[in-house]
């Protein structure tokens, strides 16, 4: 890692702390209202917690507002599409469900900008090139999110994540944050075509390997 990149990461960490703390304070009334609405609409717990891979693949607990009902086979609540409620869709389309992740930013689990934290089980499915996305902290928003979000294929999203790792700078982060605001206002790329969110990642086929790319 070059001195310039190391300096960028240190300055970005300072920005993360200041901005996340300020936003949490300013939007605390919004957080309280959303928490109350989720409690009434979906019950408790209000928060969704899940292990996600962070910097260098180390696990951390991601915190978001709940947007789905619990799995219940008797009621037909099995798939994400079945479990995602109207309230959940509204929270996701406005990204209000993501506000608690600012706590993860304060803790140092995440950054304001970076590749989105995916699922732990995906780590073993990445190609060596795709795995380089874990060389930085995951972000609340990222280059893939402002370049099409869930309308992109997995390969496109992961390629953008790796490009970000190699070209990250404070100026690029500022542009991504500005484009994030535009994406939220336009509500672009919320779900992949025919999906409630994004289809499962099953790996990228590699030359000389059989199957779906699982390694």
- C-alpha distances (whole Å) from 84 to each of 41, 60, 66, 81, 89 are 12, 24, 10, 5, 7
Q: Distance from CA of residue 195 to its chain's centroid?
A: 17
Q: What's the rounded Cα separation, in Å, for the pair 72 and 163?
A: 40
Average pLDDT over residues 2-14: 88
CB atoms within 10 A of CB 76: 9
Q: How confident is the model at residue 204 (pLDDT cuts 50, 70, 90)?
A: confident
pLDDT at site 190: 56
Cα angle 57-145-21, degrees, rounded to a multiple of 5: 70
> What's the confidence (pLDDT) of residue 215?
24
Note the pLDDT of residue 137: 97
Contact predicate 72/56, CB 8 Å: no
For 46, list phi and psi in degrees, rounded to 5: -75, -30
133-181 pLDDT, tens per residue?
A: 999 999 999 999 999 877 899 999 999 999 999 999 999 999 999 999 8
Using a pLDDT cut of 90, give the percent of the chain over it.
62
d(CA 28, CA 23): 8
pLDDT of residue 154: 94
* Residue 201 φ then ψ, to 5°: -85, 125
104 DSSP 8-state letter: H
Helix (H, G, I), strand (E, B) or coil at 49: strand
Q: How far apart are CA 167 and CA 159, in angstroms?
A: 12
Mean pLDDT along residues 10-37 = 96
Of 53-62, 79-88, 93-102, 197-206, the least confident: 79-88
Average pLDDT, the chain: 87
The residues, any chain, with a CB within 8 Å of residue 202's CB and separated by 6 or more, are: 125, 212, 213, 214
Buried b (16+ CB within 10 A) or exposed e, 121-159: ebeebbbeebbbbbbbbbbbbbbbbbbbbbebebeebbb
* Residue 211 pLDDT: 41
Q: What is the pLDDT of residue 172?
A: 96
């Amino acid at each position: 890692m070059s001195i310039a990149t190391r300096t960028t990461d240190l300055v970005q960490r300072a920005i993360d702390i200041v901005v996340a703390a300020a936003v949490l304070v300013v939007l605390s009334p919004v957080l309280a209202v959303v928490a109350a609405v989720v409690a009434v609409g979906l019950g408790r717990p209000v928060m969704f917690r899940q292990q996600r891979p962070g910097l260098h693949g180390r696990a951390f607990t991601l915190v978001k507002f709940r947007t789905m009902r619990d799995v219940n086979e008797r009621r037909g609540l099995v798939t994400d599409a079945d479990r995602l409620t109207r309230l959940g869709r509204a929270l996701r389309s406005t990204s209000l469900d993501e506000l608690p992740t600012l706590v993860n930013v304060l803790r140092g689990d995440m950054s304001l900008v970076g590749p989105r934290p995916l699922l732990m089980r995906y780590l073993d499915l990445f190609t060596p090139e795709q795995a380089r996305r874990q060389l930085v902290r995951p972000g609340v928003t990222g280059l893939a999110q402002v370049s099409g979000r869930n309308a992109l294929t997995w390969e496109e999203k992961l390629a953008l994540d790796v490009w970000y790792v190699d070209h990250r700078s404070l100026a690029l982060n500022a542009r991504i944050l500005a484009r994030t605001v535009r994406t939220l206002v336009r509500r672009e790329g919320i779900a992949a075509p025919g999906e409630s969110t994004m289809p499962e990642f099953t790996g990228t086929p590699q030359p000389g390997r059989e199957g779906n790319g699982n390694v």
